[in-house]
A and B are shown apart, each in its own frame.
Chain A
Amino acid sequence: MTLKKTILASVIGAAFAGATLMPLAASAETLRIGYSADFETLDLHEQLSGGVLRFSHMTFDPLVRWTKDFEFEPRLATEWEQTDDTHTRFTLREGVTFHSGNEFTAKDVVWTIERLKESPDYRAIFEPIESVEAVDDYTVEITTAEPYPLLLNLATYIFPMDSEFYTGETEDGNAKDEIVKAGNTFASRNASGTGPFKVTNRRQGVRVDMERFEDYWDTESPGNVSEIVLTPIAENASRVAALLSGSVDFIDAVPPNDLDRVRDAQGANLVEVPGTRIIGFQLNEETVEAFQDERVRQAVDLAINQEGIADRLMRGFATPAAQFSPEGYAGHNPELTPRYDLERAQALMAEAGFEEGFSVDMIAPNNRYVNDAQIAQAVANMLSRINITVNLRTMPLAQYWPEYDERASDIAMIGWHSDTEDTANFFQYLTFCIDEESGAGQYNYGSYCNEEIDALVTEADSEVDLERRAEMLQQAEAMLYEDAGFVMLHWQNLAYGAADGIDIEPVVNAIDFPYLGDLVIER
C-alpha cells in the first residue's frame, strides 16, 4: 500500500511540477516548415543543390555568409586578410563547439576544404584553391594557384565539418568520411556541425525533426526557434493549403497563381524577394544557320516582350532582364534594359534576308522553373510575329536534360543560378566558346562563340582589384547584349508564405537559403 501511495504521490508531484514549468516552456517555439523539396542527403559534399545548402545553413555555419545586399557577414571566420596576391588568412571564431561536443579549430577548416576538393560536385568550383594550412589553432591560410578575386564567394560554401566526428570507420568497415552518391554512407546519415539546429530524427522525403543546439555559439542571435519540424510538400496547391489551414507555419515557393491568395489570407503573410536565377533561351547556331547572323539573334531578342511575360504570365513574380547579372552582382550593368521593339525586329529580319522567316524546334522543361512551359509557349507565339514558326516540345525535367545534352533542337530554354553568386560564372557556363578539355561553355547549347567577351571575362577573373573587375564584367554584359548572344527573359522571384507572428522577412534572401537560426517568432 505504501508503495502505491508513493507512486501516486510522485505522479501527482510530477504533474504539478510539469504544470508549473509550463510558462517557461511556452517561450520555446516550434516552427513547422513545408518546403517544396527535401534535402537529398545530410552529407554537405555529396550534392551541390539548393536543398542541401538550406540544410547546411540550419545545421552548420559557413566561414562567411551573404547578407541580403550581397555583402559578406562574418560567421565562423571573424576576420580575413589578403597577405599577397595568392594568399589569404582567415581568423576563426573561438569558443565554438560542434554538436558532438568537439571543439572547433583550424584543423576542421583544413579538413573540410580538403574534402571539398575531393567532392565530385565541388571539385570544379574549388579548383582555384591550391592548398590550405592551419597556421595556429584559430588561423588558416588559403593559397590559390593564381590571383583569385572570388575567394570569399567560395568561403560561403565552406561549412566546417567536425573532422573528429567524421574520421574513422563504421561498423561495416567503410570510412566515415567517404563521399558516395546515392550510397548509404555514414556522412549521409549523420551530421555534426556548429549550426543552430541539430537533426534529431529524419525520415527522408517524409519528415525531419530538429532542435536548437543548446551550446550554439551565436548567443547574440535573436532567434527563438527551439524546434523545427520540416515536411516536404512537393505539390504546389497542397503546400499553399497547408499554410492557409494553419498546418504549417512557413512555406517556400508560393506559385504565382496563389500569390494573391496568400497575400490576402487572414493569418498568413507573403514575402517576395527578387531572385538571382536568370531564365532565358539559347539559339542553336549549329542547326540553324540564320542564328549565326547577329541581326537575326537581335531580332529574336527584340521580338520578345520580357515585361509582358513578367507582368501577365508571371503576375509580377519576375524581374524582366536584359543581362545575366541581377542587381547586387558585380557585373550588373544598370544601363542594360529590355528592348522589346517588334518593328525593329521585323526590319532586322528583312535586312538579314529572312523576311519570309523560317521554322524551328524549341524544347523546354515543364516542371523545373516557375511557369516554364507557359513561358515557352508565349515566346513561341511572339516569335511567330517575325515569321519564325516554332514547333515547341515540353517535357519533364528527367527527360529534359538528356535531350538538352544532345543539342539537337534549334532553341532551348534554360535557367541558371551562379554557384559563386558572381557574374563570371554565367558567362563561363552559358556563353563561353565550347572547349571540352577545360569544360568551358558546358551549357552553351547554341555553340555561341565570341572570343572578345571570353577574353575579357577571363581577364576579370584574375583581377583582384574588385572595382576594376566589376567594370570589366559590366562591359562584358554590354557586349553580350549588343551581340544578343543569349536571349534573356527574367530573374525568377522567390516567394515565401508565413503565418502571422513569424517574422520571416529579415531572414530570407535572394539566394533562397533562409537563415532560420535568426528567426524570431512572436505569437
Chain B
Amino acid sequence: MIAFLIKRLMHAVLVMFVISLLAFAIQDNLGDPVAQMVGQSVPESERQALRERLGLTDPFLVQYARFAKNAVQGDFGNSYFYGEPALEVIGRHLPATLELVFAATLIIVLFSVPIGVYSAIKPRSLISRFFMSASIIGISIPVFLTAIVLIQIFSIGITVSIFPDATGWGSWLNGLLSTSGNMPSFGRGYDLVHVFGSWDTNLATLSGLQHLVLPAVSLASIMLPLFVRLIRAEMMEVMQSEYVKYARAKGISMRRVYFVHALKNTMLPVITVGGVQIGTMVAYTILTETVFQWPGMGLMFLDAINRADIPLIVSYLMIVGVIFVVTNTVVDLIYGLVNPTVKLTGKPA
C-alpha cells in the first residue's frame, strides 16, 4: 500500500515535469503577452524593456531552467494579468470548480444508477426506450448548446404561442409550455458562505444552490447519458451470469438479487470509468464555466489563453495533471476496497 502510494507520487512528479516541458515548448505559439499589457501608443523600446524584465527574450532552455528552479521551491511565477503568484490565483479559483464538479457528480450518481438499473431490468418497457433515446440525444448535444438552451428556458423564459390562445385547451397548453425564467444565469451569486481560506461555498444557501443548478446540470448532461448506458450494459451482462441465475434458482427475492448480487458487481467497471471521467469533467468545466461566467479554474484558464498569460497557463496544466493522477489513485484505492481480490502493490501490473 505504502509502496503503491509512493509510486503514484513519483508518477505525479513525472507528469508535472512532462506537462511543464510541453507547456513551455508551446508558449511561443500562444502569442505575445506584452501586446496586451501595454497601451497602443507605447513605443517598441518600452515593450522590449518589459519583455526583458519578464525574461521573455531568453532562450527556451534558460527560461525553462529558471522556471524549474523556482517551481521546485513552490514558486510557479507571477500571473501577468493578476500580478500575483500563479498558484494563489489558481487556489482562489479552485473551490468554485470543485463545487461545480461535485454537484454535477451528485446529479450523475443520483440519476444514472436508478435509470440504468431500471432499463437493464425492463429493457423493453416504454420508459426504458425513452431513456435510451434521450441518452443518445444527450451524448450528442455539445455542452455549450445545452447551457445556452437551459439559460433561455429557465433564466430568460420562453413564451409559447403555437396553440390557438382563444380556445381553453390552447391557452392551457401554451401556458404549460411557456416558462417564466428567473433562474440565475451567471456567476455564483452574492450569497456565498465563507468556509476557510479562499473557499466560499455555494452549498449553504438557497440562492447559492440556485446559482449552482443550471451549470451543474449542463456539466452533467454529457456524462449522465454515458453512465446510464454503461450501468445498463454492465447490469444486463451481470444478469446473464451463472451466480445470478443460481441466486434466482435458490428463490431469493428479485429485489435482493438485483440490488445486492447484481448491482455490486456492476459497479466495478463503473468506478473505473467514473474516476477517469471526473478528471475529464474538470476539463469540460472550461465550456460550462465560460457560458455561465462561473468564476472557476476553467474560465480563468480560457482568459489566460486569450491573454497569453504563460505562467498561469503552465501552472493550470500542471495542476490539472496532478488532479488526474490523484483521482486515478483514489479510484484504485476504492477499487481495492470494493473488490478484495485486487492487490495494490508497487510492482507494475
Q: Which residues of A contact B (CB under 8 A)?
A: 34, 40-41, 47-49, 120-125, 181-185, 188, 203-207, 229, 231-235, 237-238, 241-242, 244-248, 367, 396-402, 416-417, 419, 425, 429, 436, 439, 442-443
Given A401-B32, A419-B41: A245 in contact with B308 (beta carbons within 8 A): no
Identify the closest chain B residue to A188 (Cβ): B83
**Closest-CB distance, B284 to chain A (whole angstroms):** 16
Query: Within residues 61 to 112 of chain B, which ones have a CB less than 8 A from any CB in chain A?
Result: 78-84, 92
Given A233-B293, A397-B36, A419-B41: A205 in contact with B303 (beta carbons within 8 A): yes
**Closest-CB distance, B78 to chain A (whole angstroms):** 6
Contacts of A204 in B (CB 8 A): 81-82
Q: Residues 320-331 of chain B: 1 if any A CB is under 8 Å from the residue's CB, otherwise 0? A: 000000000000
**Closest-CB distance, A413 to chain B (whole angstroms):** 15
Which among A125, A247, A417, A436 is the interface contact of B155 at CB below 8 angstroms? Answer: A247
Q: Which residues of B contact A (CB under 8 A)?
A: 29-33, 35-44, 46, 49-50, 54, 78-84, 92, 148, 151-152, 155-157, 181-187, 190, 290-293, 295, 300, 303, 305-308
A397–B308 Cα distance when bound, in Å, is: 9
Contacts of A237 in B (CB 8 A): 148, 291
- From A182, A183, A234, A237, residue with most partner B Cβ within 10 Å: A182
For the residues of A in contact with B, the DSSP-based class is loop
The answer on a CB contact under 8 Å between A245 and B41 is no
A244–B35 Cα distance when bound, in Å, is: 34
The answer on a CB contact under 8 Å between B295 and A206 is yes
Contacts of A419 in B (CB 8 A): 39-41
The answer on a CB contact under 8 Å between B31 and A401 is yes
The answer on a CB contact under 8 Å between B293 and A182 is no
A47–B42 Cα distance when bound, in Å, is: 10
A241–B120 Cα distance when bound, in Å, is: 40
A248–B187 Cα distance when bound, in Å, is: 11
**Top 5 A-B pairs, shortest CB-CB distance:** A398-B31, A48-B39, A401-B35, A245-B155, A398-B308
The answer on a CB contact under 8 Å between A402 and B35 is yes
Identify the closest chain B residue to A232 (Cβ): B293
The answer on a CB contact under 8 Å between B291 and A235 is yes
- From B40, B181, B307, residue with most partner A Cβ within 10 Å: B40
The answer on a CB contact under 8 Å between A184 and B78 is yes
Given A121-B42, A442-B43: A229 in contact with B182 (beta carbons within 8 A): no
Contacts of B185 in A (CB 8 A): 238, 241-242, 245, 247
Which among B30, B35, B43, B79 is the interface contact of A124 at CB below 8 angstroms? Answer: B43
Contacts of B36 in A (CB 8 A): 397-398, 401
Q: 25 A-B contacts, Cβ less than 8 Å apart?
A: A47-B38, A123-B46, A124-B42, A125-B41, A203-B92, A207-B295, A231-B293, A232-B293, A234-B293, A238-B292, A245-B156, A245-B181, A245-B183, A245-B184, A245-B185, A246-B182, A247-B186, A397-B31, A397-B35, A398-B32, A398-B35, A399-B32, A402-B32, A436-B44, A439-B43
Contacts of A245 in B (CB 8 A): 151, 155-157, 181-185
Identify the closest chain A residue to B183 (Cβ): A245
